Chain A
Amino acid sequence: MIKEIISILIAALLTENFVMVKFYGICPFLGVSKKVETAVGMGMAVTFVMAIASMFTWLVNHFLLERFGLEYLQTIAFILIIAGLVQFVEMFVKKSLPALYNALGIYLPLITTNCAVLGVTLLNVQNGYGFIMSFLYGTFAALGFTLAIVLMAGIREFLDENSVVRSFRGFPIALITAGLMAVAFMGFSGFSI
């Protein structure tokens, strides 16, 4: 059991990193990675949503959809749960952490359309994970996302101080940076216990 958990942790953080290897959650990864501070905030908000969403969707899938043969409603049910959760997080952050709320701006409600969140809930079902495994996988995958976005923000803070070819400023150079980071993450592939 513990060995299995550690191997999922390694996979979610490094070898199958949600952003760098599997291409989930690219929009916020590129959009909110200009400052380390906001990147950390975004990572935490996404981690919270992904962990809770993994549990909720497992319960709904197990006790409602599968029991009544309604698996074809999975996508709708899951996305509604996620949208509700994000709404809740938004209200919470707005009230108690206004500075973070302003920094995250438009990207906070957009967690709903962060495909890492819907992706992880669907992967939980696909991999046949139980309740605890779903929760752990959701959390670990989100930590992988946080790792990638914080690293990226760290690099981009320096990138801003360099002169980049004009047409590559901003988005294109960010993508190429991400590509080079992905090469580094590839170095972990095959690493397991």
Chain B
Amino acid sequence: MKGTEIIKNGLLKENPTFVQLLGMCPTLAVTTSLKNGLGMGLSATAVLIASNVIISLLRKLIPDKIRIAAYIVIIATAVTLIQMALNAYLPDLAESLGIFIPLIVVNCIILARAESFASKNPVGKSALDGLGMGLGFTGALCIISVIREFFGAGTIWGIELYGNVIKPASIVILAPGGFIVLGLIIGAINAIVGKVGEKK
């Protein structure tokens, strides 16, 4: 696989959110505003690249039996580093993402990429895979958050659009809106791509 292909794979063909349906918790929880969605996406991307690179470097040293435990330690370290950096340099973002920053540790996308890609591929490719998957995740979060912020708060990136004229439907920003918007998007993608959902 070539570099561009690896990135394209993460962005579209195997998009972690819309196609693989991984990492649903942050996808639903932080997509209440574009700022949060983008911040979460980029933080996860940074963790994904770092963990993929380190795991790829160590892939021959880590014994098979303890690989999951080792991956978890490496991922948790990367997440804690990002958390410290965010707290120090972007305290406002750190605050609004709150507990969902440490919870990046248990974002299935990261462990899944470690297990299925980084543990079998050289460093360069693993870094690209991390970047592709991370951007795919970020893109998905941005799409969902733009929709939810627009309909639910009447703003985009915090800029008031129509709130003075029509009252925004705040349910879109609340929990039910998260589920329904994501369901509609995935259904729409299935319809466009022509992929038939699970048989009954």
Tell me if A172 and B190 are in contact (CB < 8 A).
yes
Question: Known contacts being A110-B108, A123-B99, A175-B179, is A30 close to B24, with CB within 8 Å?
Answer: yes
Can you list, as one digit per residue, whether each of B1-38 has a CB less than 8 Å from chain A (1) or not (0)? 00000000000000000000111110111000000000
Q: Is B197 an interface position by the 8 A CB rule? A: yes
Closest to A117 in B: B106
Q: Is A191 an interface position by the 8 A CB rule? A: no
Task: Give complex CA distance A161, B196 in Å.
Answer: 17
What are the residues of chain B within 8 A of A72 when measuring CB–CB? Answer: 80, 84
Can you list, as one digit per residue, whether each of B168-196 has a CB less than 8 Å from chain A (1) or not (0)? 00010011111110111011101100011
- Chain A contributes a number of interface residues (CB within 8 A of B) equal to 51
Q: Is B58 an interface position by the 8 A CB rule? A: no
Tell me if A169 and B196 are in contact (CB < 8 A).
yes
Q: Is B199 an interface position by the 8 A CB rule? A: yes
Chain-A contact segment, one of B68-76, B131-139, B146-154: B68-76
Partner of B196, one of A20, A25, A166, A180: A166
Task: Give complex CA distance A101, B182 in Å.
Answer: 31
Closest to A175 in B: B183
Can you list, as one digit per residue, whether each of A167-193 has a CB less than 8 Å from chain B (1) or not (0)? 111111111101110110110000000
Tell me if A170 and B180 are in contact (CB < 8 A).
no
Taking the closest CB of chain B, its distance from the CB of A184, in whole angstroms, is 9
Question: Known contacts being A23-B29, A176-B184, is A115 close to B190, with CB within 8 Å?
Answer: no
Tell me if B183 and A167 are in contact (CB < 8 A).
no
- Chain B contributes a number of interface residues (CB within 8 A of A) equal to 48
Q: B residues 91-146 with Cβ under 8 Å of A?
A: 99, 102-103, 105-108, 111
Partner of A75, one of B23, B24, B79: B79
Q: Is B200 an interface position by the 8 A CB rule? A: yes
Taking the closest CB of chain A, its distance from the CB of B134, in whole angstroms, is 17
User: Which secondary structure dominates where chain A touches chain B?
Assistant: helix
Tell me if A119 and B103 are in contact (CB < 8 A).
yes
Q: Is B64 an interface position by the 8 A CB rule? A: no
Taking the closest CB of chain B, its distance from the CB of A57, in whole angstroms, is 12
What are the residues of chain A within 8 A of B177 when measuring CB–CB? Answer: 179
Tell me if B24 and A167 are in contact (CB < 8 A).
no
Task: Give complex CA distance A27, B112 in Å.
Answer: 13
Taking the closest CB of chain B, its distance from the CB of A120, in whole angstroms, is 10
Task: Give complex CA distance A184, B5 in Å.
Answer: 44
Task: Give complex CA distance A7, B192 in Å.
Answer: 47
Extra contacts, 20 of them, besides A26-B27, A126-B99, A174-B183 (Cβ < 8 A), are: A22-B175, A23-B175, A27-B24, A74-B102, A75-B79, A79-B105, A79-B106, A80-B69, A83-B69, A112-B68, A115-B106, A167-B191, A167-B197, A169-B200, A171-B186, A171-B197, A172-B183, A172-B187, A180-B176, A186-B175
10 contacts between A and B (CB under 8 A): A21-B175, A30-B24, A79-B72, A80-B72, A112-B106, A113-B111, A168-B197, A171-B198, A172-B183, A183-B171
> Interface of B with A (CB < 8 Å)?
21-25, 27-29, 68-69, 72-73, 76-77, 79-80, 83-84, 99, 102-103, 105-108, 111, 171, 174-180, 182-184, 186-188, 190-191, 195-200
